[in-house]
Amino acid sequence: MGIRVNPRTTQKIAKVVIWSAAILVLLLLFTIIIYILSKGIPHITWQFLTEIPSDMGKSGGILSAIVGTLAVTIVAIVVATPLGVGTAFYLTEYTRESGVTKIIRFSAESLAGIPSIVYGLFGFIFFVTYLKLGWSILSGGLTLAVMILPTIIRTSEEAIRTVPPMYREVSFSLGGTKWQTMTKVLIPSALPGIATGIILGIGRCVAETAAIILTAGSALQMPTSLFSPARTLAVHFYILASEGISLENAYATAAILIILILLINIGANLLVNRVVAKRR
């Protein structure tokens, strides 16, 4: 028989352990963020943001990487949003639970789990090679679109499901068709939730590296069309850091990435809070 410990004592020990775990997580987050920001922010200058990199990124700025990030992200969002939101509407409004919806949900959940390097392989063989799009903004953006599709499907579906069912009844009872009900009542009501999903998708695009290297390449030049190869901020940072090209510029780029992710997260949270506040 083991030693009997007073339940009150275990309660106290457990409480301490659990609180310290939570504090550890917060501490880790702040350490990482503050470390990167404090080393990086001093190197961010106006020039750094507005000049094209030169000498492999050793000097010059990161303008082409900013443009590259923007371009692949826009392609991804433009492609994934209608597909994701459309799928969510199909699942909530156009069908009842059935084998078909199960398969669609299973596919989306499976997509969410696939590692980004596998997306990279797929994007490389399908978009770059098979569809002959080459290493380009288009290939990179389409690969990212596939990656963020499950996020947009899930958040949109949740958002549409929180629209009170009576809104649909009212709209139908006033002679509204399904299409009218969707465009005039459901979409406006679910918009903040849908936007949250899109913002999270943007965050994922900005942060992604592995899938983009294999599909958009890592060209330093300013992209000129959808078919130009491009380098995103995350890829630029990876190359600067791993090849030891310029630690200063690496820190500065990382700091910009962190700031972007912070802003994106704050935006998503503001939207979520708005939805919650509205429901009260």
Partner 1 sequence: MSEQTKISIRDFNFFYAKKEVIRALNLDVRENEILSVFGPANSGTTTLLRALNRMTDLTPGVYMEGEILLDGKNIRSPDINISELRRKVSMVFEVPTPLPMSIFDNVAYGPRLSGVKNRVLLEHTVEESLQMAVLWDEVKDRLHNSAMRLSGGQQQRLCLARILALHPEVILLDRPCSGLDPVSTSKIEESLRHLKEKFTIVIVPHNVQQAGRVSDRAAFLLMGDLIEVGLTAEVFANPKDKRTSDYITGRFG
Partner 2 sequence: MKMKNFGERIPQSLFFIIALSALTVLALITVFIFIEGVPLIAKVGFFKFIFGMKWAPSQGFYGIFPMIVGTISVTLGAIILGVPVALCCAIFLAEFAPRWLSDIVRPAIQLLAGIPSVVYGFWGLIFIVPLIRNYLGGPGLSILAGSIILAIMILPTVISISEVSLLALSPLLKEGAFALGATHWQTIRSVLVPAAKSGILASIILGIGRAVGETMAVIMVLGNAVALPNSILSPVRTLTTNIGIEMGYASGDHQQALFATGIVLLVIIMILNSLAQYSIRRK
Q: Does residue 210 belong to the site contacting partner 2 (CB under 8 A)?
A: yes
Q: HSE-up of 74 (CA within 13 Å, CB side)?
A: 8
Give the whole-angstrom CA distance, residue 89 versus residue 129: 33
Q: Does residue 257 belong to the site contacting partner 2 (CB under 8 A)?
A: yes
CA angle at 23 for the pair 17 and 29, rounded to the nearest 5°:
140
Choose the one of partner 2, partner 1, none that binds residue 174, judging by a C-beta under 5 to 8 angstroms depending on kind.
partner 1
Q: Does residue 70 belong to the site contacting partner 2 (CB under 8 A)?
A: no
- If you compute the radius of gyration of the chain from its CA atoms, what whole number of angstroms results? 23
Of the candidates 42, 82, 115, 164, which one interacts with partner 1 according to CB under 8 A? 164
Residue 54's Cβ-count burial label (10 Å; 0-12, 13-18, 19+) is: exposed
Give the whole-angstrom CA distance, residue 159 versus residue 190: 5
Per CB under 8 A, contacts with partner 1 among 186-215 are: 188-189
Choose the one of partner 1, partner 2, none that binds residue 127, judging by a C-beta under 5 to 8 angstroms depending on kind.
none
Pick the closer one to partner 1 by CB: 101 or 189.
189
- Name the one range near partner 1 by CB under 8 A: 59-67, 167-175, 192-200, 238-246: 167-175
Q: Does residue 29 belong to the site contacting partner 2 (CB under 8 A)?
A: yes
Q: Which residues bind partner 1 (CB under 8 A)?
A: 96, 164, 166-177, 180, 184-185, 188-189
